[in-house]
Amino acid sequence: MPLWLRTADPGFEAEFHTYVERRREEEADVRHTVSAILADVRARGDAALLDYTRRFDRLQVDRVEQLRVDEEALVRARRTCSPAEIDALELAAERIRAFHQRQLPQELRSRDGLGVEAGVRWSPIEAVGLYVPGGTAAYPSSVLMNAIPARVAGCRRLVMAVPTPGGEINPLVLVAAAIAGVDEIWRIGGAQAIAALAWGTESIRPVDKIVGPGNAYVAEAKRQVFGRVGIDMIAGPSELVVVADAGQDPGWIAADLLSQAEHDERAQTVLITDDEGFARRVAAEVERQLEELPRAEIARTSWQQQGAVLVVEDLLAEAPALVDRLAPEHLELVTADPDTLFAHIRHAGAVFLGPLSAEVIGDYVGGPNHVLPTSRTARFASGLGVHDFMKRTTFLRVPEEAFRQLAPAAATLARAEGLVAHARAVERRLGEAR
């Protein structure tokens, strides 16, 4: 039974606070194990990669170069996929590419009243590593969502790391990589893959930024290499909040909740409504639909242990504040007037407006990125986009008259901070060196 709360009840605030703050991430402390793996790969390079690949992925190869996926393997993978699957991937890629091309920033250049020219120039990150969870359950849609914005941004080298336990890989992952324009694909995974991408080995050149989800070891490895390279985010369990009024189809809402619950036993799904009878019809639909799902046990555990139903008195007056406290990865506003609700909400990774804007459309073919902030980080973070694969460089040009007006203030502030060399750098240009 999910948590069931009514905002009108006296104990609501305390119970909701506990629900918002409770930890859903994996509790295992893998810091020391990951640190040792990173140090080993950094020290021994290819030899360490081969050892870990034999140990964790059960792949026996003599050289790291044998772990690189070649063109022939990509052709074979495409042949094993159905035309409908390939068409769906290509449609998704086209829509993702089009949306992210509209995100490309423009150079900023301005001149103020003193004649000082200032601006911002954008340039792509040179090389990006894309981590993709492996095995037959990997997600080709995530390959598109990570690789296409990087390619749109102009990154010159895209390197994908994907573990292939026992040699198995979802062929659609390889097809997605080819469609997205990935340059190198390596059959390596875990913390050792993150180490190879961050520091490089004899066979794998390092990258400048690493993106993509992974298990606790991959997440911890990304934490530890941050600073050496950039990272996108530390992804937690999936989240969906649905705000729905009584005029909606309970079966649709139940299906949406289960679409996230089936990801992971730690996934969080929340229904907010102003009609308790409607909430009970949705809950009954969840139980009925669970019987039809191949991943029913995962979804049931998620719904019962992490799910919640919040019954409010007034959706517009109460739901936005509850949503902002949850700061969910995904938010569906399934009401008669979703735009008015949306205007009052500040914290959500992605928002889906209206009954037909199912979150699943966003997972695959909507266009905006599905790599989104979790664990309430939507309070300060955004979903993946073209900007994540670019960097800003500011520039400044100061003409003589402007310099003479600005330099005295700069020198005054420098001396106030005790930085005499700073002051002298402008004073010498004024002929006032002290």
DSSP 45-74: THHHHHHHHHHHH----SSGGGGB--HHHH
Please name every residue paired with 231 in a beta bridge, in sequence order, or none if there are none: 210
pLDDT for 225 equals 98
The distance from CA 431 to its chain's CA centroid, rounded to whole angstroms, is: 53
What residue ranges in 277-338 does DSSP mark as E strands?
A: 308-311, 330-334
We report the CATH number of the domain holding residue 18 as: 3.40.50.1980
Same domain, 183 and 165: yes
Tell which of 231, 249, 266 closes a domain: 231
Same domain, 90 and 195: yes
pLDDT in tens, 152-200: 999 999 999 999 999 999 999 999 999 999 999 999 999 999 999 999 9
pLDDT in tens, 135-152: 666 799 999 999 999 999
Angle subtended by helix axes 140-153 and 83-101, to nearest 10: 40
pLDDT for 431 equals 86
pLDDT for 29 equals 85
- CA nearest neighbour of 260 among 134, 131, 374: 374
Confidence of residue 27 (pLDDT cuts 50, 70, 90): low
Residues classed as catalytic: 329-330
The average pLDDT across 99-104 equals: 98
pLDDT at residue 407 greater than cutoff 90 = yes
Tell which of 346, 366, 386 closes a domain: 366
Same domain, 240 and 355: yes
pLDDT for 50 equals 97
Residue 372 lies in a domain: no
The average pLDDT across 45-71 equals: 96
Same domain, 274 and 402: no
Residue 286 lies in a domain: yes
State how many domains the chain has: 3
- CA nearest neighbour of 322 among 238, 236, 241: 241
Same domain, 316 and 424: no
pLDDT for 208 equals 98
- For 35, the domain range is 31-116+126-231
User: Two tokens at 22?
Assistant: 């409770």
Residue 244 lies in a domain: yes
Cα(73)–Cα(86) distance, rounded to whole angstroms?
16
Residue 7 lies in a domain: yes
- CA nearest neighbour of 329 among 355, 306, 312, 297: 306
Same domain, 62 and 184: yes
Q: What are the Cα distances from residue 265, in Å, to 239, 268, 289, 326? A: 11, 9, 17, 18
Q: Across the chain, how many H-helices and E-strands are there?
A: 17, 14
Same domain, 75 and 198: yes
pLDDT for 1 equals 86
pLDDT for 134 equals 84
pLDDT in tens, 305-333: 999 999 999 999 999 999 999 999 999 99
Residue 78 lies in a domain: yes
Percent of residues, the chain, with pLDDT higher than 70: 98
- CA nearest neighbour of 171 among 81, 92, 85: 81
Same domain, 329 and 423: no
Confidence of residue 432 (pLDDT cuts 50, 70, 90): confident
pLDDT at residue 114 greater than cutoff 90 = yes
Same domain, 245 and 215: no
pLDDT at residue 385 greater than cutoff 70 = yes
Residue 379 lies in a domain: no
pLDDT for 26 equals 60
Same domain, 313 and 352: yes
Same domain, 211 and 261: no
Confidence of residue 241 (pLDDT cuts 50, 70, 90): very high
| Average confidence score pLDDT of the chain | 96
Same domain, 83 and 191: yes
User: Two tokens at 417?
Assistant: 């901070």
Q: Between β-strands 230-231 and 308-311, what pairing exists: parallel, antiparallel or unpaired? A: unpaired
Tell which of 175, 199, 231 closes a domain: 231
Residue 56 lies in a domain: yes
Residue 152 lies in a domain: yes
Please name every residue paired with 123 in a beta bridge, in sequence order, or none if there are none: 391
* Residue 306, amino acid: Q
Whole-structure pTM value: 0.94
- CA nearest neighbour of 262 among 335, 371, 363: 363
